[in-house]
Structure 1
Amino acid sequence: MVEQAEDQEQEVSDGTSQAPVMDAPGGGTSAPADQDDVTEDILEISTGGKSVEIGNFRIFLDLRMPEFDMGHCKAYSADNLRRDEGSAFAVVTDPVLPTRHDHIQFLTGMHMAGQIDLIDHEIAYWPPFGRNTMVLFYEKPSGGRVVLGEGKKPIIDEHDISTVVVEPIIGVLQAFADKGLAHRNIRAGNLFFGDPLRQKVVLGDCCAAPPGYSQPLVYETTARMSADIAGRGAGTPADDLYALGVTLAELGIGHRPLSKLSDQEIMDLKLSKGSFQAIASQERLPLILIEPVRGLLCDDAEERWGFNELNAWLDGRRTKPVQSNTEKRAARSQNLSGRDYYTVRALAQGMAKNWVSALAPLREGTIEIWLRRGLGDNDRAKALADAMRQLQWAGADKRSAEDVLVARAILIMDHEGPVRFKGFSAMIDGVGYMLSYDVQHGRGPQRFADVIVRDIPSYWFGRQEGYSSEVQKLQQLYKNLRYYIQQQSAGYGYERCLYTLVRNQHCLSPLIEQDYVVEISQLLPALEKAAENASEDTWPVDRHIAAFIATRLEDDIEGQLMAMQNPSDEVEYSRAIISMLAIVQWRHGPDNLQNLSHWVARLMEPAIKVFHSKARRERVETEIPKLAKRGNLVELYNLINDEQERRKDQSEFVEAVAEYSEAESEVFDLESSGPARLELAEKVGQQAAAFASTMIALLTVSALFLIHIF
Structure 2
Amino acid sequence: MAEQAEDQEQEVSSGAAREPVMDVPGGGAVPENPADEDEGSGAEVGEFSASGKSVEVGNFRIFLDLRMPEFDMGSCKAYSADNLRRDEGNAFAVVTDPVVPTRQNHITFLSGMHMAGQIDLLDSAIAYWPPFGRNTMILFYEKPGGGRVVVGDTKKPTIDEHDIATVVVEPLMGVLHAFGDKGITHRNVRASNLFFADPLRQKVVLGDCASTPPGFAQPLVYETAARMSADAAGRGVGTIADDLYALGMTLAELGIGHRPLSKLNDQEIMDLKLSKGSFQAIASQEKLPLVLIEPVRGLLCDDPAERWGFNELNAWLDGRRTKPVQSNTEKRAARSQNISGRDYYTVRSLAQGMAKNWVSSLAPLRDGTVEVWLRRGLGDNDRAKALADAMRQLQWAGADKRAAEDILVARAIVIMDHDGPIRFKGFAAMVDGLGYMLSYDVQHGRGPQRFADVIVRDIPSYWFGRQEGYSSEVQKLQQVYKNLRYYIQQQSAGYGYERCLYALVRNQHCLSQLVEQEYVVEISQLLPALEKAAESASEDSWPVDRHIAAFIAERLEDDIEGQLLAMQNPSDEVEYSRAIISMLAIVQWRHGPDNLQNLSHWVARLMEPAIKVFHSKARRERVETEIPKLAKRGNLVELYNLINDEQERRKDQSEFVEAVAEYSEAESEVFDLESSGPARLELAEKVGQQAAAFASTMIALLTVSALFLMHIF
Q: TM-score if structure 1 supplies the norm length?
A: 0.94
Query: What do the CA deviations read for 1:159-212 (whole angstroms, capped 9, x no partner)?
Result: 000000000000110111111111000000000111111111110000000110
The residue aligned with 1:136 is 139
1:82 corresponds to: 85
**Cα–Cα, structure 1 residues 708 and 178, in superposed 2: closer, same or farther, change >3 Å?**
farther
Kept after mapping to 1: 8 A contact 2:152/2:257 = no
Aligned to 2:276: 273
* Rounded Cα–Cα distance in structure 2 between residues aligned with 1:569 and 1:72: 46
CA positional deviation for 1:324: 1.9
Query: What are the equivalent positions in structure 2 for 1:636-655 lying under 5 Å apart?
Result: 636-655=639-658
Q: 1:563 — aligned with what? A: 566
Contact (CA 8 Å) 1:507, 1:516: kept in 2 or not?
A: yes
CA distance in 2, matches of 1:702, 1:151: 155
Cα 1:21–1:676 change in 2 (3 A) is farther
Answering whether residue 355 of structure 2 is matched by residue 352 of structure 1, we say yes
Deviations 1:4-53 (A, max 9, x none): xxxxxxxxxxxxxxxx99321024279xxxxxxxxxxxxxx961211111
1:289 to 2:297 alignment: no
Give the partner amino acid of 1:25: P
1:464-483 Cα distance to aligned partner (Å, 9 max, x none): 00111111111011111111
Q: Where do 1:76-155 residues align within 5 Å? A: 76-155=79-158
Partner of 1:213: 216
Cα distance in 1 for residues equivalent to 2:377 and 2:355: 21
| In structure 1, C-alpha distance between the alignment counterparts of 2:243 and 2:694, rounded to whole Å | 118
From the superposition, tell whether residues 130 and 680 of structure 1 become closer, same or farther in structure 2 (CA, over 3 Å): same
* Deviation at residue 706 of structure 1 after TM alignment: 6.4
Partner of 2:202: 199
Paired with 2:392 and 2:149, the residues of 1 have a C-alpha distance of 56
Does structure 1 retain, via aligned residues, the 8 Å contact 2:597–2:635? yes
Structural mapping, 1:275-674, within 5 Å: 275-674=278-677
Q: Which moved more, 1:274-283 or 1:81-90?
A: 81-90
Q: Is residue 241 of structure 1 aligned with residue 244 of structure 2?
A: yes
**Structure 1 residue 321: deviation in Å?**
1.4
The answer to whether the 8 Å contact 2:456/2:485 transfers is: yes
Show CA shifts across 1:114-164 (max 9, x none): 100111100010000000000000011011001253321222110000000
Deviation at 1:396, TM superposition (A): 1.1
- For residues 324-344 of structure 1, give each alpha carbon's deviation from its aligned partner in whole angstroms, at most 9, with x where no partner exists: 221111111111111111100
Tell me what 1:13 maps to. none
Q: Contact 2:151–2:191 (CA<8 Å) still a contact in 1?
A: no
Please state whether the residue corresponding to 2:305 is helix, strand or coil.
coil
Number of the residue aligned with 1:47: 50
Distance of aligned partners of 1:316 and 1:702 in 2 relative to their CA distance in 1, 3 Å threshold: farther
The match for 1:4 is none
Corresponding residue of 2:25: 25
For residues 457 and 261 of structure 1, the distance between their equivalents in structure 2, rounded to whole angstroms, comes to 32
Q: 1:21·1:29 contact (CA, 8 Å) conserved in 2?
A: no
Gaps of 5+ in 2: 1-19, 31-47
In structure 2, what is the Cα distance between the partners aligned to 1:245 and 1:416? 20
| C-alpha contact (below 8 Å) 2:151/2:254 kept by paired residues | no
Task: Give distance in 2, aligned partners of 1:437 and 1:136.
Answer: 21
In the alignment, the residues of structure 2 paired with residue 396 and residue 613 of structure 1 have an alpha-carbon distance, to the nearest angstrom, of: 55
Instruction: Please give the alpha-carbon distance, in whole angstroms, between the structure 1 residues aligned to 2:194 and 2:445.
Output: 34
Identify which of 158, 175, 178 aligns with 2:178: 175
Residue identity in the other structure for 1:561: L
- Counterpart of 1:448, as a letter, is F
Shift of 1:700: 4.9
* Contact 1:21 1:27 (C-alpha < 8 Å) held by counterparts: no
Match of 2:164 in 1: 161
Query: Which letter does structure 2 place at the counterpart of 1:137?
Result: F
Evaluate the alpha carbon distance shift between residue 160 and residue 706 of structure 1 in structure 2; reply closer, same or farther with a 3 A threshold: farther
Q: Deviations over 1:277-326 (max 9, x none)?
A: 00000000000000000000000000000111111111111111112221
* Alignment partner, residue 5 of structure 2: none
* Structure-2-length-normalised TM-score: 0.93
1:703 positional shift:
5.7
Indicate the percent of aligned positions where both proteins have the same amino acid.
89
Q: The residue matched to 1:62 in structure 2 has which SS?
A: strand
Superposed displacement of residue 676, structure 1: 1.8
Cα distance in 2, alignment partners of residues 260 and 62 from structure 1: 34
Match of 1:252, SS state, is helix
In the aligned structure 1, how far is the partner of 2:614 from the partner of 2:146?
Answer: 72
> 2:690 maps to what in 1?
687
Cα distance in 2 for residues equivalent to 1:385 and 1:507: 44
Give unmatched runs, 5+ long, in structure 1.
1-19, 31-44
CA offsets 1:578-614 (integer angstroms, 9 cap, x no match): 0000000000000000000000000100000000000
Q: CA RMSD in A?
A: 1.5
Contact 2:102 2:211 in 1 (8 A): yes
In 1, Cα distance between the equivalents of 2:52 and 2:410? 56
CA–CA distance in structure 1, aligned partners of residues 662 and 137 of structure 2: 64
After the TM superposition, which of the residue ranges 324-333 and 593-602 deviates more from structure 2? Answer: 324-333
Distance (whole Å) between structure 2 residues aligned to residue 606 and residue 561 of structure 1? 17
CA distance in 1, matches of 2:697, 2:150: 135
> Does the residue aligned with 2:51 lie in a helix, a strand or coil?
coil
Looking at structure 1, the residues matched to 495 and 688 of structure 2 have their Cα atoms a distance apart, in angstroms, of 76
Q: Does 1:261 align with 2:225?
A: no
User: Aligned residue for 2:43?
Assistant: none
Taking the aligned partners of 1:226 and 1:278, their CA distance within structure 2 comes to 16
Choose the corresponding residue for 1:66, options 66, 69, 91.
69
After superposition, what is the alpha-carbon deviation per residue over 1:240-291, rounded to whole angstroms, capped at 9, x for unaligned? Answer: 0000000000000000000000000000000000000000000000000000
Partners of 1:709 and 1:91 in 2: CA distance: 142
Measured in 1, the distance between the counterparts of 2:156 and 2:165 equals: 18
Alpha-carbon contact 2:151-2:257 (below 8 Å) kept: no
How far apart in 1 are the matches of 2:710 and 2:82? 139
* Cα distance in structure 1, aligned partners of 2:253 and 2:709: 151
SS at match of 2:431: coil
Residues in 1 aligned to 2:67 and 2:442: alpha-carbon distance in whole angstroms: 30
Please give the alpha-carbon distance, in whole angstroms, between the structure 2 residues aligned to 1:350 and 1:51: 51
Q: Contact (CA 8 Å) 1:505, 1:518: kept in 2 or not?
A: yes
State the secondary structure of the residue aligned to 2:61.
Answer: strand
Measure the CA separation in 2 of the matches of 1:692 and 1:152: 140
In 1, Cα distance between equivalents of 2:706 and 2:182: 125
8 Å contact from structure 1 (residues 21, 28) kept in 2: no
Quick one: higher RCO (CA 8 Å, sep 6+), 1 or 2?
1
Question: What is the distance in 2 between the residues matched to 1:161 and 1:699?
Answer: 147
